[in-house]
Structure 1
C-alpha cells in the first residue's frame, strides 16, 4: 500500500455516506456498502485475466455498435447515500450518458458485471445484488471463476430474475446489449 493510504485516518462512524466516501484520497481501496467502508484488496491475476477477456470483448462490441460506453474497475458508481460500488465492468447506454460525470458514474449503469473474489463474493451476491436491482440496473452478470460459470439476471420491478446460467461450456447472451454473447470457453482459459 502506498504511503498516502497509511497516513489517511478514517474517523470511526456508525454509518458512512457518499460525502465521507468522496473525502477519501483517489485510489483508496474501499467501496461504500450498506453505509460501511469495506476494504477491497487487489484482485488475483486469474480474476484480472477473466476481466480482461470479457471486458475487451464487451467494450469492442459496444464501440463497434456505438451504443454506449464500458468502464472497468475501479470506477465509482454512486447508487444511493450509503452505496458507492466499483463493479468490475459497467455499461452505460448512449441515451443515459448524463449519469457519467468526470469523477464517477452517478446512477445505475444499464449493465453490471461482478467477478466473484473470496474477499467480495458475499457482498456481490447479497448486498450489492439487492441494491443494484433496487436502483435500476437492467442486467447483472455474476461471473464465478471457481465454478467457471456466468449467471445473468434481468432487473424487473426492483428485483432480479435469473434468465440464464452456463457452467464451463456454452454461451450466454445479453438482453441489454442486443447481439452480444460470449462463449464460456473464451473467458475461462487456464493460461494467463
Structure 2
C-alpha cells in the first residue's frame, strides 16, 4: 500500500529538503511514499537497463539511467529506467533531470501500479515523454505506448516470446525471454 501525505500542498522545494531516508515522489502537490522495490522488480529493471547500456556503448546516441529524480514542472518522479537522447542531455542536472526523458520504463508493483498506469502516465504524456513502457513482472508482459497527438497510442503488449524494439533507439533489440528469465510469480 502506498502512503500519501496530503496534509498540505507540497512543492518541489519541499521535496528537495526531504532527508529522512525514505523514497518519495511528488504528484499533484502530494508526497507519495514509494516502497522499496522487490527483488523481481529490481532484476527486471537492471536487466533492461543493462541491455540499453550495452547498446549505447556501441551506439552513443544518449544516456540511460535508473531511479533518478525527474522534475516535470511542479512534480517529481523517479522512473525505474529512463533514456535521454544525446541532443537533449542538457536536461541532466547534478541533482536530477529537469524535463521529460525520451523513454520512460516503469516496472509495475502492487503498491504503485495504479499511480504508474494513471497519474504518472498522464504526467509523462503532458510533459512530452515520447514513449512509455509498463512492465508487468507477474504476467511477464510489457505494454508499450507512444505519444500521439492528444493521448498515448498503445503500440502493443509484448511477452517472453517477443523481442522489443523502439524507434527511439534504432537497432536496439531486447529479448523479453532474457529479461524475464528465471523469475517466478509471487
Q: Could you tell me the TM-score, scaled by structure 2's length?
A: 0.91
CA distance in 2, matches of 1:122, 1:64: 36
CA distance in 2, matches of 1:141, 1:12: 28
**Partner of residue 5, structure 1:** none
8 A Cα contact 1:147 1:168, kept in partner: no
CA shift, 1:99, in A, is 0.5
1:125-181 CA-to-partner distances (Å, cap 9, x unmatched) read: 000001101100001111000110011111123521111321232122112111112
**Partner of residue 4, structure 1:** none
**Partner of residue 100, structure 2:** 108
Residue 140 of structure 1 aligns to a residue in which SS? strand
Are 2:136 and 1:148 equivalent residues in the alignment?
no
Residue 18 of structure 2 aligns to a residue in which SS? coil
Are 2:49 and 1:37 equivalent residues in the alignment?
no
**Partner of residue 87, structure 2:** 95
Aligned Cα root-mean-square deviation (Å) = 1.7
Q: Could you list the runs of 5+ residues in structure 2 that have no partner in the other structure?
A: none
Deviates more, 1:126-135 or 1:171-180: 171-180
**Partner of residue 80, structure 1:** 73
Are 2:124 and 1:128 equivalent residues in the alignment?
no
8 A Cα contact 1:139 1:175, kept in partner: no
8 A Cα contact 1:165 1:172, kept in partner: no
CA shift, 1:50, in A, is 0.7
CA distance in 2, matches of 1:109, 1:34: 19
8 A Cα contact 2:6 2:30, kept in partner: no
Are 2:178 and 1:186 equivalent residues in the alignment?
yes
Residue 40 of structure 2 aligns to a residue in which SS? helix
8 A Cα contact 1:70 1:92, kept in partner: yes
**Partner of residue 67, structure 1:** 61
Aligned length: 180
Are 2:15 and 1:21 equivalent residues in the alignment?
yes
**Residues 1:96 and 1:125: Cα distance change in structure 2 (over 3 Å):** same
Q: Could you list the runs of 5+ residues in structure 1 that have no partner in the other structure?
A: 1-10
